[in-house]
Amino acid sequence: MRLIAEIAATHLTHRKRQSIVSILGVAMGVGFFIGMAALMQGFQTYFVSKIIDVWPHIIMKDEYRLPSLQPAQRQFPQGAVALHGLKPVEELRGIRDGKAVIAALNRIEGIHAAPTMRTQAFMRYGAKDVSATLVGIDPELERQVSQLERDLKVGSLNELHTAANGVILGEGLAAKLGVEAHNIITVVSPAGVILKMQVVGIFRTGITTIDNFDSYTLLKKAQILANRPNVINQIRIRLRDVGNARVVASSIESRYGYRTEAWEETYENVLGIFVIQNGIMYSSVGAILIVAAFGIFNIISTIIHEKTRDIAILKSIGVAELDIRLIFLLEGLAVGMIGTVLGWALGHALVEILASIRFNIEGFVRAEGFILNESPYHYLIAAGFALISSSLAAFLPARKAARLDPVDILRGAA
C-alpha cells in the first residue's frame, strides 16, 4: 500500500505545475463555496429571524380564500343553468365578532392574539405628502404579539394613550415626511376623515418595507379614520413555538373561515427568492468544481499517457489491476484533499475579509455590512463536493489505466 502511495506521489510531484493548477482549481471551488454560503445563509437566517422577531407569526385577515358561492349555486350545486352578470352582495368588511375570536384564541395555551385595524392613509407634513399604512392597535395586547415596544427608537407605546392623537411612525416613513417626535402631522384616510396627529414615537425594525410604510395608532383612532367604528380587520397572533405557525394557521382558518396566513405565507415571495439564490449559489459553485474536476481528469489522463510503459512494467511485475487503479484514484483524491484544505483556508479568509467590509445597505433589511454565517456544515459540504468530484474525475482515467494490456504496450515499445 505504501508502495502504491509512493508511486502516486512521484507522479504528482513529477508534474508539479499541473498538479498545483489542479489543486488551486479545487481550492477556488471550495473557498468560494464557503464564502458564498456564509454570505447567503447569513443574510437569509438574519432576515428570517428578524421576521419571526418583529412580525406576528400568524395574521388573520377579513378575507376569504375563495370567493363566496352565489345563493343559486349553493342551492343547486349540480345545476346546469349558468347565470351571468351577477353582482355579489356587498358585505361589511371586518372580522365578525372579532373580540370573541381574540378572547377564544387567547385562552389557548401558547397563543397570543391582538386586534388591529389596518387602513391606508395619506400623511402630510409641510409640503410632503406620503402614503402609508396605518395600523390601529391595542397597546396592552400588542405587547404580547410583536416587539414594537422594543424597536421604538423614540417614545413609548404608553404615549399613544397620553397624547391626544398619538401616532408612531417607522423610521423610513418619518424620514420621508421629514418629521421628528412631537411634530403634528395631518392624516387623511380614504374614507375622507382628516385628523391632526402627534408623532409620539419612531421605530426601527430593520426590515425595510415595514420601516418605510407602517405606522401605529390606537385601535379606536384607526377605526375613526376608516369610518368603521368597532371593526377590526386583522388579528395578529404570536406563538410560543414559531415552528408550528403553518399548522396553527391552517387550523385557525378552518375553524373561523377567514384567511389566516403564517409568516412563511406572508413572506412567501422573499422566501422564494432565497430558494432561487441558493440555487444560483449551488450551481455556480458546482460549475467551478466541475471545471476543477476537468482539470483533475486532464492531469491524470496526461500522467497515464506518459506512464503507459511504467504501467506495463508494473503489471508484468505482478502489480494487480486493482492496485493500478488505486494509484490513479489516489492521485485524484490527493489533489481533491489538498485542494479542500487550501480551499478551507481560502474560504475562511474570504469570510474574514467580507466581515471587515463596512457599508450601508438597504435591501429587504437594513445592515451596516455583510451579514455572515460561517458554519462547519459549509466546510463539510464543500469538502464532500470536492472529494466526490475529484474521485469521479480520477475514476474514469484510472479505470482505463487498469485495463491497459501490458502485452500491447510491450509489443509497441519493443
Distance CA 225, CA 193 (A): 5
CB of 297 to other proteins, least distance (A): 22
Nine-digit cell string for 118: 389596518
Smallest distance from the beta carbon of 334 to other proteins, in angstroms? 16
Nearest approach, Cβ of residue 336 and other proteins (Å)? 22
- Residue partners of 109: CB distance under 8 A and separation at least 6: none
Write down the least CB distance from residue 396 to other proteins, Å. Answer: 20
Residue 322 CA to chain centroid, in angstroms?
47
**Identity of the residue, 89 or 322, whose beta carbon is nearer to other proteins in the bound complex:** 322
Q: Which amino acid is at 313?
A: I
In angstroms, give the least distance from the CB of 15 to other proteins. Answer: 11
Q: Say how far residue 309 (Cα) sits from the centre of its chain.
A: 55
Is residue 218 within 8 A of residue 80, CB to CB? The reply is no
Q: With contact defined as beta carbons under 8 Å apart, do 251 and 237 qualify?
A: no
* Cell numbers standing for residue 23: 489543486
Question: Which residue's CB is nearer to other proteins, number 388 or number 407?
Answer: 407
Query: How far apart (Å, rounded) are the C-alpha atoms in residues 45 and 57?
Result: 16
Nearest to other proteins of 72, 407 (CB atom): 407
| Residue 408 Cβ vs other proteins, minimum distance, rounded to whole Å | 10
Among residues 182, 193, 85, which one has the least CA distance to residue 134?
Answer: 193
Residue number with CB closer to other proteins (319 or 392):
319
Structural contact between residues 168 and 156, judged by C-beta atoms closer than 8 angstroms: no
Q: Using CB under 8 A, list all residues that contact other proteins.
A: 2-3, 7, 10-11, 13-14, 309-310, 312-323, 406-407, 410-411, 413-414
Nearer to other proteins, 168 or 312 (CB): 312
Tracing cell 406576528 back to the chain, one arrives at 56
Tally of CB atoms within 10 A around 253: 19
Smallest gap from Cβ 367 to other proteins, in A, equals 55
Q: Which is nearer to other proteins, 11 or 57 (CB)?
A: 11
Residue among 91 and 405 whose Cβ is closer to other proteins: 405
